[in-house]
Structure 1
Amino acid sequence: VQVHWPRELSDRLTAQAVIGPSTAEDEQSGAPGGIEDKALGSGDAPDAGDGTPGGPFGGGLPSFLSANALLAFNWRFAVGGHELTRAELDRLAEAGRPLVRLRDRWVLVDPAEVLQARSQQDRKVTPMDALSAALTGTTEIDGRPVEVAASGWLERLRERLADPEGGRQEVAQPAALAATLRDYQLRGLDWLHRMTSLGLGGCLADDMGLGKTITVIALHLHRQTDPASAGPTLVVCPTSLMGNWQREIEKFAPGTPVRRFHGAARDLDDVTDGFVLTTYGTMRLDTERLAARGWGLLVADEAQHVKNPYSATARALRTIGARARVALSGTPVENNLSELWAILDWTTPGLLGSLGAFRTRFAAAVEGGGDPAAAERLGALVRPFLLRRRKSDPGIAPELPPKTETDRTVSLTPEQAGLYEAVVRETLEAIAAADGMARRGLVVKLLTGLKQICNHPAQYLKEDRPRIEGRSGKLELLDELLDTILAEGASTLVFTQYVGMARILETHLAARGVRTQFLHGGTPVAEREAMVARFQDGDVPVFLLSLKAAGTGLNLTRAEHVVHYDRWWNPAVEAQATDRAYRIGQDRPVQVHRLIAEGTIEDRIAAMLDRKREMADAVLGTGGDAPQELTELTDAELAELVRLRGDGR
């Protein structure tokens, strides 16, 4: 029997998850319901909610956000736009039929849908899961997406966190700070105070050169004015940055104790306040001593150094407790979104869930580029915990001069072209006969070898006493650039990822009478600082630098030109290197020259770098060896990638 039912009488049951504390819990004095007083204002000392400071993560979560403080996961049901009471939902479920009488009208609902809805009532979730769902407005229940609304203090917390730089200013510049913070730095200080007073932590991801260090110094000084947050600050940073941190603290916070926990005679005796500076290597070796201290604030500078959460360094860092954690990184996403997970899971454990769940729910979809909605959800989730400003943003650094970036293509010499084609032919034959790890190793060897040939044949051939002139198109172009730069009385930075290539340049330029100096990973800290001083004083006009060793922590504003002699696989690393010159304090236009061998593998690297920039921008609102995707190419795809093109395409 067919029954024709009027469409206007068929109402679908709709459900929206509502997460938050119970009414009684929200109103209880001193409980999370007092979020404006307890959490958003005054910086209560966080604990893990399990009786031990910091619990398994070594600090970072206040009790009202700990795993033990479960929140109610309820549902709001409606039929035809009318919200149902629990009794009405029970009546629908018990009827067991699609046609029921509800509020003096007949409605048509799916009995199976009603039963499922009732069975999902009264769930409990951890506050970090609840906060994640509240920020994104969605969660997954039994593998299907469900809309989420927050209630009570959780909703007020969501509103407070949603706009990192919005709302009323909660703190002023500390009186003890011997500097005047810029407006964006004051907003950064306000944000850091809000996040650390909540125990949530965060990542300050401003561009290099915008003053992350002075902002953290201001945060330390502000926290010393409140007994609940006062205490020493431990800064973990690369070795190259220790001197910079010490100078900045002595300059902007005069009288504040600062100690280097580094070297054979390191100790922590009588540390009660001020700053303690250590390196990632020392922290890993001396974790127990550092973890035994009570730190008011723990800062991980250049936090991308712990982007692998399974590394010994990252594991050691997690064991050090503190009332609050702050990560500093101008490049929170270098190669993939798992690096972002590693940083934020350290500052705010549990926010992004497990790494596996994060990869499934967000990273795979965003990195593939086919799911803009996933990028939008991830952005909504991480943006409150990651403050990122660029030099190019309106009003951030209007005093900075313009920066011009130019790709300068150059042809290979006949020797380079012959060597390039021979290496491609021979190595592709070996790759075709290999598989597994052996094949991947050969691919990396091929890509590295081709880049070295593009630089100079002597680098690839590892010649002891090479004939340098007339063999490299790039070197000829560099000579032309330097002739012009030096004639103008300007100074330049020349970056290369290869120490061997830098040595060739050093020898070649010395023979031409050009004064240079070379900074690499083996340069002692004291000598690094002396090199910076010589360059800034104008004693040495050409500074040769190893890309990875000198890409951070150096202030080289005398340079008006930056030359990238070869391309790195990672755009963020190149940008950091450029920012050695293009940073606060630079008062002259900066020209960036990227040297590219035409028609070679270097041409194809550029497109890959652009894709990585787009991925980071999609999420943030804003390397190492050859990327894994290149090692997984088929033989035909690899041959097309490395083929020498005569037309430069």
Structure 2
Amino acid sequence: MVREVEAAAQRGRVTPAVRTKFQAVALLLREERARVRAEAAGSESHRAEQLKRLEGVATILATTAVRDAGLLACLAEDAVVSDAARSLARDMLRGLGVEPAPEEVQPSEIAAAPASPERRVVPQSVLSRQLANPFLAPDFSAVAQRTPRPRRLAGWELLGPLLSSFERAGSGDPACMPLPEPSSRLGPKGLELMPHQAQLIAAAAAGHRTFLLADEPGLGKTAQALLAAEAANAYPLLVVVPNVVKTNWAREAGLWTPHRAVTVVQGNGDTVDGFADIVVVNYEVLDRHVGWLGDFGFRGMVVDEAHFIKNRSSQRSQHVLELSDRLRSRATRPLLMALTGTPLINDIDDFRTIWQFLGWIDDAKPLGDLMDALEDAGLTPADPGFYAAARRCVIDRGIVRRRKVDVAADIPARRIADLPIELDGAAGRSIRAAERDLVRRMVAQYETALANRSSAGAVEGIDRDLVRRVARSELKDAATTAGENVFTMMRRIGQAKAGLAADYAAQLARSAGKVVFFAKHVDVMDAAEEAFARQGVRFSSIRGDQTPSVRQKNIDAFVNDSDVAIAVCSLTAAGVGLNLQVASNIVLAELSWTDAEQTQAIDRSHRIGQTEPVTAWRIIAAQTIDARIAELIDSKAGLAARALDGSDEEVASSADMQLEALVALLTDALRSSPQVPADLAVGY
């Protein structure tokens, strides 16, 4: 049977039946491998031979899964074994003359169950909020009651036809609900919205409350969601996101809704602000917090990268749906938004959980406004015009899809978007400790120099010249001596960011097409390539140690092979001399020391022949020197741009940038205190 699945994948015909066979074989393989390893009888050599054969089957499964995302998903840790696959596995055992063991609770079912009470937490500040507002419990009576109406379609199975209506759509059929023209495009503090962003916000202001916002990456879905919540007064607002964009959501909230307090749930929530207007939580810790989140009284909920919940039986999907149900039961017309640039990963069924989150359907049938709209259409699935009308009914509930090419006039031809991330765990703590040691060392040198100076040379406040001399001395020592310094710290930060940057690049590749991934250090490139290989994402590697023929072969593979999704490039070796216009998204996993080098890298895609706007995503480690360097690069960007245009103005060199970074670190420390405290966190 494993050969049947392999042959089907090679032909590109992976049907649901093939996936069921694949999952059944994988289930039997896991069980048999566990049985052989636990078996006490028999010789060691016999056991080794059996395991070798099983590893051969496992290899076939793994290489087959790489060909199809649906098969690969079956091997994920949170993949749920379907009833059909489990039944087929038992039939296969019986066919071999083996009586299956009695049915037991499957690990996948355990994974899908809610977290145990022992694992649930309630942050202290949330308890304080509840105590401070004892009379503000949700008013269940405020939930709108629908008047029953005759159901002409009550006897029809409708979910299948609704999903099929999207498969039957022609290329010219609309994919976006009608949106009103906005009266204004101004955001907070005079920030100007793009026209397509202002349209969605106008729809929320006009009373629309459910959206599947499926704009392509780079079209500002985060800003649209935040300002839609503002227009709908949907506070408190819950935002559920992947870990990699958690910090960025807090940053964007500060930019677009600066008058709204935002809090980010980290770990057990010890630092949560229970009185915040916007609560940002990542999928990975949702199981710990779903209890108090459900009782918090939210009036709006945003799910970012909503394709993460496509597996209805996964734990994170169950938690998201539970929160959505509780919110809709406690609030009158809450704002619900699902954000994703790739609403469909494997097949049309990926819509189901997203629609259920939005309250358009349940497990069996359409609900509420969607059912009313289908009734008003006056058609049944037996009528020829039903599918086009049904698709329109779903889209009008709130599907919004715009492509870059459709709104090209609205956005810059080239833009840089920062994606801050938090470095957690031992690596993050070590990096921050090294940064504190660097600051203490420079402060000590500064204070020693002051102590040895005569009173005639005293300067009121911070001596800027002395700061620069200390920073220059530190930079000189870093280049000639071993040990922790600004260069080793930047390399360690790059290593710590590699995994998250690779995950984001893979996510972009799946939703928006080819991606160019830039890094400075070889070990960061290695880590990223290992991550892509684990995820089954094909890539080309473009490095400085390659021969010209190998380099060109890898470039051609990325440019010409539609299956090669990512080009992993050295920032220094591949930043010039390449034409990579097939990609309009760039991920800068590590920062350059100059804006000019950064611009050169971006211009591998943003050049003559490029037909789409280019977005460069800078992955920045928040609360580290990485963030300071990003600020410095931006401050020099104008000079660099003028220099590239032929200006005579001086442009900062990499050495200048390194010096300015150290100057900024020392200056910040001296402003804070003459003695750097032990718990100093260098933040910007």
Under TM normalisation by the shorter chain, which class is it?
0.3 to 0.5
TM-score of the pair, normalised by structure 1: 0.39
Which one has a larger percent helix, Structure 1 or Structure 2?
Answer: 2
TM-score of the pair, normalised by structure 2: 0.38
